Amino acid sequence: MRARFWGTRGSLPVALTAAEVKHKVAQALLLAGGRSFKDQAEAETYAATLPFTTAQTFGGNTSCVELELQPPGKDAHEYILCDAGSGLRPFGNAVLARHGPKTPNVFHIFMSHPHWDHIMGFPFFTPAYIPGNRLRIYGCHSGLEEAFRRQQAPPSFPVDFDYLGADIEFIQLEPGQRYDIAGLRVTPKLQLHGGDSYGYRFERQGKVVVYSTDSEHKLDSAEETESFVRFFFGADLVIFDAMYSLADAVSVKEDWGHSSNMVGVELCQLAGARHLVLFHHEPVFKDAKIAEIEAETRRLEALTRQDAPQLTISAAYDGLEIDL
């Protein structure tokens, strides 16, 4: 199984400004020290040696994560996704580039909740407009279909939901129940967030991925903490809402429905998880700040590890791929 990240920001999409791009270019030139390159390929090889925050970016699309069950050969036409943020648009474009517009595809989309940043990519998801494609949208909210339809209703969007050509079905799940869907065993779980949010535990052939965004973990309830330790237990990969610093999460932004990197480490260590991915980045954070949080989280993990195996820490970025 492979996790591929198409959108990793929270709340709203962001983009690098002209000033930020110029700053990155200036940093790269300084590090090059006057070196010259014979062609684009040689320059790109050099760029691969630069710090991530100089040569790359964490990106700015909102939540969308693909779970791939096999290598994407030309005959792979079934896709599994978590959330439909603005990252859904480039995902859809990549599918069309791979197969063309006439090849039918099946899309299974698991929704954490219908807040705008998690559904805003859907009106721009080109496969939804093409007859022959099938979309199965899963979630625990009874008003999920209404939310999708409302964002495409006048005056918000010029193309009504009923214009979409694909076969679209909304399927309501019950939290705590296990389902066999698209080759995965799927278990949704209620999380603390305004209007409710649901995490998902995906299991297949001994591998476990937990998608837990837009959840506020206070850790002041032993019973609640234990329930999430069980939910995360033995996970190979935990995609975790680490939008806030711990100080923000317990003070100014308490009850805003998001967690911190430090809470993510604690829960994953208690659960014996193997890889924690920091996700749903605060939109005001620049690349350097996210990289700083990633380094801080790795230091925290090392200090609190004790005799347990090392917990791998990554900060998600648009384009990140993780093989399990």
CA gap 174, 156 in Å, rounded: 31
Q: Taking the model in full, what pTM does it have?
A: 0.94
Task: Taking residues 92-96, report their average pLDDT.
Answer: 96
User: Is residue 210 classed as helix, strand or coil in its secondary structure?
Assistant: strand
Tens digits of residue pLDDT in 276-316 = 999 999 999 999 999 999 999 999 999 998 888 899 999 99
So what CATH class is 2-16+57-323? Answer: alpha beta
Of the listed ranges 157-166, 175-184, 191-200, the least confidently predicted one is 191-200
**Average pLDDT estimate for 161-165:** 97
Secondary structure of residue 70 in the 3-state scheme: coil
Burial tier of 180 (Cβ tally within 10 Å: 0-12, 13-18, 19+): exposed
Residue 64 pLDDT exceeds 50: yes
Higher pLDDT, 101 or 109: 109
Residues 6+ away with beta carbon under 8 Å from 144: 111, 114, 137, 170, 172
Contacts of 259 (CB under 8 A, 6+ apart): 215, 216, 217, 240, 241, 242, 243, 244, 249
Instruction: Using the predicted structure, report yes or no on whether residue 249 has a pLDDT greater than 50.
Output: no
Residue 256 has pLDDT above 70, yes or no: no
Domain limits, CATH 3.60.15.10, in the chain:
2-16+57-323
Task: State percent of the chain over pLDDT 70.
Answer: 94
| Extended strands (E) in 112-166 | 134-139
